[in-house]
A = this chain, B = another copy of it.
Amino acid sequence: MSRHSAEEAGEHPMQSIDRLVHEPARLAILSVLNGFESADFVFLLNQTGLSRGNLSSHLAKLQSAEYIEITKEFVDKIPRTLAKLTPQGKSALSSYREQMKRFLHEL
């Protein structure tokens, strides 16, 4: 009746990748956050090389997926936006990493 589950499902491992993480701009953001635990908007701007607009919308997307948490504060009258990975975000990044490593290794 059956052969392998992968054949039955008709799926390739890459088809189950988390596209929210897979996007290069967001991978850049997530990897910075993973390294620094918490980072502000300007720092992310510098580390990722994204434009302000792109950074803003990618952060919004990651936030609504609950992969990051955003807090806003004022420091000497200038606004400061802080981002940090949530446990969900860490976990999503980590399983993305494992999946991708396995794929690349078998490539």
* Interface positions of A (Cβ within 8 A of B): 7, 9-15, 17, 19, 22, 24-25, 27-28, 31-32, 34, 46-50, 93, 97, 100-101, 103-104, 107
> In the complex the two chains form, is B19's CB within 8 Å of A24's CB?
yes
* 5 shortest interchain CB distances as A-B pairs: A12-B28, A11-B49, A10-B49, A14-B28, A14-B24
Given A93-B107, A104-B104, 7 further pairs, Cβ under 8 A: A11-B49, A12-B28, A12-B47, A14-B24, A15-B28, A15-B49, A31-B107
With the chains together, A19 CA to B25 CA distance in Å?
11
Interface-central residue, A13, A25, A27, by most chain B CB under 10 Å = A27
> In the complex the two chains form, is A34's CB within 8 Å of B101's CB?
no
Could you pull out 10 A-B pairs where Cβ atoms are within 8 angstroms? A7-B46, A10-B46, A10-B49, A12-B31, A12-B32, A12-B49, A14-B28, A22-B22, A27-B103, A101-B101
